[in-house]
Amino acid sequence: MSVGGQLDRKDYEKCKGSGTKLTKIIHRLSPDYRQLVIFTRTISSLIPNSPPLIEWEHKKLLKHWGALSSLLHWAGEAKETFESSHWYMRGLETIEHAATYLWEKMRAGYSGVMVPEKMQPEIRQTWEDYKAGKIDLSCVLERARIALPVLSMRIKT
């Protein structure tokens, strides 16, 4: 979601099993994800009945992935792993912690960002200026307020 569908199968195969490689690919494909979520929320706040948007925290997702992966790819003696009540309880806590994070995020709103390459020119320029630090969110709102009627008419025709 955060990389706008830019992660192709070949890149995905390279990073399977490696949180470090996945992190690097995500940062390369979506270096401005957090800013883009904030920008998208700001624009969507002007549209009646827009759904709430959530921001996925990549570091937390990767941390959970690593913790869960260790349960799936464990090694060791049976009595120290799956036969051990301590190992089992620790595994349940790990799963519950990860599932709780996912559940709370998913209940709080929807995943979604505006894809810069698909933005209308007026919004794209506003995004570029915001991303570069040339304008703040109040200016984003003002520009969007001005542009939305024009964009609505464009869509209708």
- pLDDT for position 4: 57
- In the chain, what is the greatest distance between 2 CA atoms, to the nearest angstrom? 69
User: What range defines the domain where residue 69 resides?
Assistant: 55-108
Same domain, 119 and 90: no
pTM of the model: 0.78
Same domain, 140 and 100: no
Same domain, 143 and 153: yes
Reported as a pLDDT band with limits 50, 70 and 90, residue 31 is confident
Q: Which residue has the higher pLDDT, 2 or 72?
A: 72
- pLDDT for position 11: 76
Residue 152: which H helix or E strand, with range? Answer: helix 137-156
Same domain, 50 and 119: yes
User: Vertex 15, ends 26 and 105: CA angle to 5°?
Assistant: 50
pLDDT digits (tens, 9 = 90+) for 140-155: 999 999 999 888 888 7
Same domain, 69 and 79: yes
Same domain, 98 and 118: no
Least Cα distance to 138 among 42, 40, 49, 45 occurs for: 42
What is the rounded average pLDDT for all residues in the chain?
87
Same domain, 73 and 101: yes
Same domain, 61 and 43: no
Same domain, 120 and 101: no
pLDDT digits (tens, 9 = 90+) for 116-128: 988 999 999 999 9
